[in-house]
Chain A
């Protein structure tokens, strides 16, 4: 049973699918697709995104137990739809669709089922806007789900919310930067779960001004190739990823962390 948190530190959730580049999604057509999506989704504004490097982990040769091949694609131009409240964005490229939610102020995290449903809604709207079908897209090369958590770190003690960092000999530590990953598999490789921790500074709104605050950013990302075909395969992959991410988050918390984020049993 997955744990649930009534005050989770989630700042951003992104769900993305990668497919083979579609020639019909050149920049001119991407603009048309975005305009059509605007009509379907509501008042989203459209902006050209910077060139975005693509990092794919696909099925590759078995290299010393690593079943993933990491490819660095050429950076590609993309278009981004941003909601007026700025809490949701849709990124479109000729080989990628990414939908993300970001916390704007202190409103509550909409929870995974709603986010997944939102992705499906956007995906369907994207297919119809682009005149595509699931079969036109073909296999999804990679699917990813990512949770960005911000642990408040004004006193540089955010690591005490976690149970796997012991800074006994680094009482005055300046910051944290670490990454680890593991492959998850059952009868086959399912995907790679990556944990990324980084001390960062950000600006928080404070009445009419801002204040620089220190945080410990904890990214949990699950990516790989879905086992099943089509959007159902993608959604199953998201479910598996969400489960792995929540479980890892729960397993990472110290007693202090559980209290801080108000851990409770899921009502299911």
Chain B
């Protein structure tokens, strides 16, 4: 449903500048978040690959390069999915995740989403990485394994989780 809007007292009914439904505060949309984020992702991942040996105090090596490389591939593909989508879904782009080094050279990708929801990916050098969705309010978690051995990674389930969590934020805002 669209509403007309008034352009300095003049009714712009024939303009494409018609408004959508009101009542929702939207998240910022960046011009080209994918480009900007890509540099930030590389910077963060390079830091993890450059950690000192025994960074965790338990003798762990730094994050393995191949784990960081796979993480970069997964995250850039996922952010591109949102960026290539129509504006309502583009607006649910979760942005750059947190990267957490894990003892032994593995790496965890974490999106901290609204309402205590978390999407995490554990990348530890195997062909499959573990993805999980955690809802701390409902005390629920779901876990799937994603095949990362081929040229394309199926991110369908992961993006569904993110959309579900980000949409719940919109509903919460409207309700508030």
Contact = CB atoms under 8 A, between A and B. Distances in A.
B contact face: mostly helix, strand, loop, or mixed: loop
Interface stretch (B123-131, B136-144, B151-159): B151-159
Interface string A96-110: 000001111100001
Contact of B16 (A48, A114, A215): A114
Given A40-B7, A50-B32, A202 B84 contact: yes
Given A43-B19, A118-B15, A201-B81, A212 B154 contact: yes
B99 interface: no
A50 B17 contact: no
Nearest to A110: B16
Contacts of A211: 156
Interface stretch (A77-85, A133-141, A242-250, A254-262): A77-85
B160 interface: yes
B43 interface: no
A84 B7 contact: no
A176 interface: no
Interface residues of A, number: 49
B7 A104 contact: no
Contacts, number: 135
Contact of A105 (B15, B28, B36, B86): B86
A200 B155 CA distance: 13
B155 to A, nearest CB: 6
A42 B13 CA distance: 13
B17 A41 contact: yes
Interface string A1-17: 00000000001000000
Contacts of A83: 17, 19-20
B85 A51 contact: no
A211 to B, nearest CB: 7
A52 B31 contact: yes
Contact of A40 (B8, B77, B84): B8
Interface string A115-143: 10110010001000000000000000000
Contacts of B14: 114, 117
Contacts of B15: 114, 117-118, 121
Contact of A87 (B5, B6, B82, B87): B87
A86 interface: yes
A88 interface: yes
Contacts of A115: 16
B8 A203 contact: no
Interface string B74-98: 0001001110111111110000000
A42 B8 CA distance: 9
A62 interface: no
A42 B89 contact: no
Contact of A84 (B19, B28, B30, B31): B19
Which 7 pairs of residues, A with B, have the shortest CB-CB distance? A85-B20, A42-B5, A86-B87, A202-B84, A47-B28, A49-B31, A110-B16
Given A102-B87, A202-B85, A217-B84, 18 more contacts: A11-B86, A40-B7, A41-B17, A49-B31, A50-B30, A52-B31, A80-B29, A86-B29, A87-B20, A104-B20, A105-B86, A121-B17, A200-B80, A201-B155, A203-B85, A203-B89, A205-B88, A212-B154
12 contacts: A41-B5, A42-B17, A50-B36, A84-B22, A91-B31, A102-B86, A105-B88, A114-B14, A121-B17, A174-B152, A201-B77, A202-B89
